[in-house]
Structure 1
Amino acid sequence: MMTIEAYLDELQRQLAPLDEDEQADVLDFYLEYIEDAKLTTDAEVIAKLGTPRQLARKILADHSIKQNEINSESGRQVTPKSNISMIWVIILAILSTPVTIPISIVILLVLFAFVITAVIIIGSILATLAALIIGGIVLSAFCFYIGLGLILTHFFVGLSYMGLGLVGVGIVFILIPFIRLMAKVLFQAMGNFFRYIYTKFNDRRNRRQGVA
């Protein structure tokens, strides 16, 4: 058994990724919520809000989604890394929620199916493009090497091979930004989907628990 003060202390420890001001705002909000709801024991708090870890994961997911939206709306670049981070905290938040209603089970099944499918598709696309780049580099180097070997005996043939090698290098340099753009688009799409799933999941949970 823990006191409400101990509950909030543990919640603060679980909120370590947030800065001190953000932690203070969260703790003030939930302390006020607990007082307004007249929750007097830790059991009542846990029944309403979940364990400190469960609540912290929800808060971190909400914060990550909000930060992602702010960056997007302000024109800041939303990197694949930030989308992956957001997806991860969303998954942790959903997995930490007790599955007690059928719709939650359906959401989790859809979530896992999407994760597996997305990883396979994105991995295959990126692996294919990476293989094309590596193959292009090897082929370009080979052509350039052959051209150097022929330049003294068959000048124009050697020059042609060297030209092909340089063209290949140029194509590779064109493909690299394209791959980065594609990775950004794919991870943004994944992030948007997870954000949508989490919003629906969270709305239903809040309605069920009566939490704003």
Structure 2
Amino acid sequence: MLMENSIYFTQVKVYLSQLTVDEQEDVIRFYQEYAADAQLSGERLISELGTPKQLARRILVDYSLRLEEDDIHNTYEHESTRQDRQNWIKQEFNLISIVLEGLLTSIVWVPAMLLILICLFATIGIAAIVIVALIYYLLTGLFQIFGGLAILSSNWATGLYQGGIGLIIVGLQFVAWPVGVTIIRTVFRALMRFVKYVGRRFSHKGKEVTHHA
């Protein structure tokens, strides 16, 4: 039993390279004690905790979710610099990657993985459409202004009208861009809520043991 468990947890540790040595040892010790208390080994151990790779992926997902909740979310809510926002976005995409990698370890979770990918591409598509639309109308406004200035000497009425329309369009950008950013953030947050929901279901796997200290 001890030999079988030792091999199992050695393999688990191989897949936990993203954690520090201390974190790896802490997690492995937790599951070793759980396996010993529950007298799990061999097929029973795999049935309870999954393969070494599956357990490691659940650990990484759970760890990343708790890290995001403890640190990154608070940083984002109170961010004051561009670096804060960049760090938050990087952390969120890293979380998506970890969750997707975890879901790949079990065919049961493939539909959830595909749904996350669909939502991710939809989010990127919405963000691209919003940004392109905002840039298009900004350029349209500038074109109207310069066009109005170009014909102002020959037809001042048309020039003023065209230039005025351009100024209105450009002025609306001060409202349109914040609204556009809000739309993108809202859609992205909805995506992350779904990713975290799936991640929690996967990492817990319906068993309290997966929510380690």
TM-score (norm 1): 0.71
Flag the 1:196–1:28 CA change in 2: closer, same or farther, 3 A: same
In structure 2, the partner of 1:134 is 135
> What is the CA–CA distance in structure 1 between the aligned matches of 2:62 and 2:128, rounded to whole Å?
32
- Does the alignment pair 1:34 with 2:35? yes
Q: State the shift of 1:96 in Å.
A: 1.3
Q: State the shift of 1:76 in Å.
A: 3.7
AA at the equivalent of 1:131: V
In structure 1, the partner of 2:54 is 54
> What is the CA–CA distance in structure 1 between the aligned matches of 2:73 and 2:126, rounded to whole Å?
28
**8 Å Cα contact 2:62-2:203 kept in structure 1:** no
AA at the equivalent of 2:95: M
TM-score (norm 2): 0.70
Q: State the shift of 1:120 in Å.
A: 6.1
In structure 1, the partner of 2:95 is 86
> What is the CA–CA distance in structure 2 between the aligned matches of 1:52 and 1:158, rounded to whole Å?
72
- How many residues align? The count is 200
> What is the CA–CA distance in structure 2 between the aligned matches of 1:71 and 1:63, rounded to whole Å?
12
Unaligned runs of 5+ in 1: 100-106
Flag the 1:171–1:25 CA change in 2: closer, same or farther, 3 A: farther
Q: State the shift of 1:119 in Å.
A: 4.4
In structure 1, the partner of 2:192 is 191
Flag the 1:34–1:203 CA change in 2: closer, same or farther, 3 A: closer
Q: Which of residues 93, 97, 104 in structure 2 aligns to 1:95?
A: 104
Q: Which moves more between the two structures, 68-77 or 54-63? A: 68-77
**8 Å Cα contact 2:104-2:113 kept in structure 1:** no
> What is the CA–CA distance in structure 2 between the aligned matches of 1:142 and 1:119, rounded to whole Å?
34
Flag the 1:25–1:37 CA change in 2: closer, same or farther, 3 A: same
Deviations 1:143-187 (A, max 9, x none): 122123124444454344344334333333433333332222212
SS at match of 1:181: helix
Deviations 1:117-147 (A, max 9, x none): 5346534533432231132133123212212
Flag the 1:24–1:116 CA change in 2: closer, same or farther, 3 A: closer
> What is the CA–CA distance in structure 2 between the aligned matches of 1:136 and 1:201, rounded to whole Å?
44
Aligned positions of 1:145-156 closer than 5 A: 145-155=146-156
RMSD: 3.5
> What is the CA–CA distance in structure 1 between the aligned matches of 2:142 and 2:34, rounded to whole Å?
66
> What is the CA–CA distance in structure 2 between the aligned matches of 1:40 and 1:204, rounded to whole Å?
19
Deviations 1:88-133 (A, max 9, x none): 322332331364xxxxxxx754x25743653465345334322311
Unaligned runs of 5+ in 2: 78-84
